[in-house]
């Protein structure tokens, strides 16, 4: 019973020493703020190398090791931890501090080789146990079987859902096409809104010029009664009449141009609004029939509405010598003539 307690105690102490060694923080070793020029910055690299050696030992193998090997791990770990502790306890007040520091650094640099020799067989055993090749092979085969099973299931699902996927793809293309048509219609809507704003502006100017013309017409009736404008002789009368006619003609011409601009911009706003509506509605008309010829007719007239040049209202000649869309009768009789 005492021997079993001794083994358990040795196992626990070995595990505790190994864990403490593996988790040791090497950042605490330099102590640059406390020691100044006598700091242990050079101890950091060999300490990390030594700790990495212990990290190759798995805690799971300790249960498999006999006492002699447990004692070996514990002895080496305690000795190396004590060396780290010496660095942490080092003070500048002790005798020959500089020489003591060099001894510690030298000892730390040789510890890797000293600990490597007894720990190397145990590290090899730890590596072989961690890499259980038979277990890995079994797990790999199980993974392959699972992958094959899932791929077969997936292939079956794809085959069963092929028609549904095709329908979804068709719907996606349809939605994309409708979105594209709507996106193109926005440009015509923007143009219609721009011309609407311009037509409102010219409408306001036309009203103001009309009011000005009316006021001038009323005022012109009383110009000859103003003392300094009252004609004295026949020549003054002719001059006053001509000036009134010229002023009236200029204002009238300005009113004409303003009204013409108002009507032209309003016309362009309506045309672009019509094109916008044509783009939004032609898709619905095409989808409403399965007849290819009727679809072509709708598409032809929609294209004609969009792309054919329209009277702008600015040009005097409103007749356009552009090609027009084929009539419905012509398109319907085309297949009959082909037969």
Alpha helices, DSSP H only, in the chain? 2-22, 32-35, 44-55, 67-89, 97-130, 133-160, 162-220, 234-287, 292-307, 328-338
Model pLDDT, residue 220: 79
- Dihedral of CA 291/293/295/297: which sign? negative
Model pLDDT, residue 321: 47
Model pLDDT, residue 290: 66
Instruction: Calculate the alpha carbon distances from 268 to 113, 186, 305 in Å.
Output: 93, 16, 13
- Rounded to 5°, the CA angle 69-70-73 comes to 85
Q: Please, are residues 43 and 87 in contact by the beta-carbon 8 Å criterion?
A: yes
CA–CA distance, 58 with 50 (Å, rounded to integer)? 15
Give the tens place of pLDDT for each residue, 132-182.
Answer: 555 666 777 788 888 888 887 887 777 777 777 677 776 666 655 555 555
Q: Which residues of the chain have pLDDT under 50?
A: 1-7, 320-325, 327-339
Residue count of the chain: 339
CA–CA distance, 283 with 287 (Å, rounded to integer)? 6
CA–CA distance, 167 with 175 (Å, rounded to integer)? 12
Q: Please, are residues 332 and 300 in contact by the beta-carbon 8 Å criterion?
A: no
Helices 67-89 and 44-55 sit at what angle, rounded to 10 degrees?
160
DSSP state of 56: T
Q: Which residues contact 311 (CB under 8 A, 6 or more apart)?
A: 267, 318, 320
Burial-class residue 38 by CB neighbours within 10 Å (0-12, 13-18, 19+).
Answer: middle
Q: Which residues contact 109 (CB under 8 A, 6 or more apart)?
A: 46
Model pLDDT, residue 95: 80
Model pLDDT, residue 189: 83
Listing DSSP states for 11-40 in one string gives HHHHHHHHHHHHT--GGGS--HHHHGGG--
Q: Please, are residues 88 and 29 in contact by the beta-carbon 8 Å criterion?
A: yes
- In terms of pTM, does the model score above 0.85? no
Model pLDDT, residue 211: 92
Model pLDDT, residue 331: 46
Give the tens place of pLDDT for each residue, 256-277.
Answer: 888 888 888 888 888 888 888 8
């Amino acid at each position: 019973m005492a021997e079993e307690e001794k083994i358990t105690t040795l196992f626990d102490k070995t595990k505790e020493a190994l864990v403490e060694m593996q988790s040791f923080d090497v950042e605490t070793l330099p102590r640059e703020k406390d020691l100044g020029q006598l700091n242990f910055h050079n101890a950091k690299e060999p300490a990390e190398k030594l700790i990495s050696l212990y990290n190759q030992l798995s805690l799971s193998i300790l249960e498999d090791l006999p006492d002699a090997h447990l004692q070996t791990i514990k002895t080496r770990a305690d000795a190396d931890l004590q060396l780290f502790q010496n660095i942490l306890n080092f003070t500048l007040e002790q005798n020959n501090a500089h020489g003591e520091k060099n001894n510690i650094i030298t000892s730390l640099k040789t510890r890797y080789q000293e600990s490597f020799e007894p720990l190397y067989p145990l590290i090899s055993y730890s590596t072989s146990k961690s890499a259980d090749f038979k277990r890995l092979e079994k797990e790999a085969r199980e993974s392959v079987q699972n992958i094959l099973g899932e791929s077969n299931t997936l292939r079956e699902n794809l085959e069963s859902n092929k028609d549904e996927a095709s329908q979804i793809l068709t719907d996606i293309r349809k939605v994309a096409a409708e979105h594209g048509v709507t996106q193109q219609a926005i440009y015509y809507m923007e143009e219609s809104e721009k011309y609407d704003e311009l037509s409102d502006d010219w409408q306001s100017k036309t009203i103001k010029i009309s009011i000005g013309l009316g006021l001038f017409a009323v005022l012109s009736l009383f110009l000859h009664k103003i003392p300094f404008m009252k004609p004295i002789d026949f020549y003054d009368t002719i001059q006053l009449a001509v000036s009134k006619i010229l002023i009236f003609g200029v204002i009238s011409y300005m009113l004409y141009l303003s009204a013409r601009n108002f009507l032209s911009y309003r016309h362009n706003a309506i045309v672009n609004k019509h094109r916008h509506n044509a783009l939004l509605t032609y898709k619905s008309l095409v989808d409403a029939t399965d007849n290819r010829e009727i679809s072509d007719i709708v598409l032809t007239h929609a294209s004609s509405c969009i792309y054919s040049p329209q009277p702008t209202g600015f040009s005097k000649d409103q007749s356009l010598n552009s090609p027009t869309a084929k009539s419905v009768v012509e398109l319907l009789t085309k297949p009959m003539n082909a037969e």
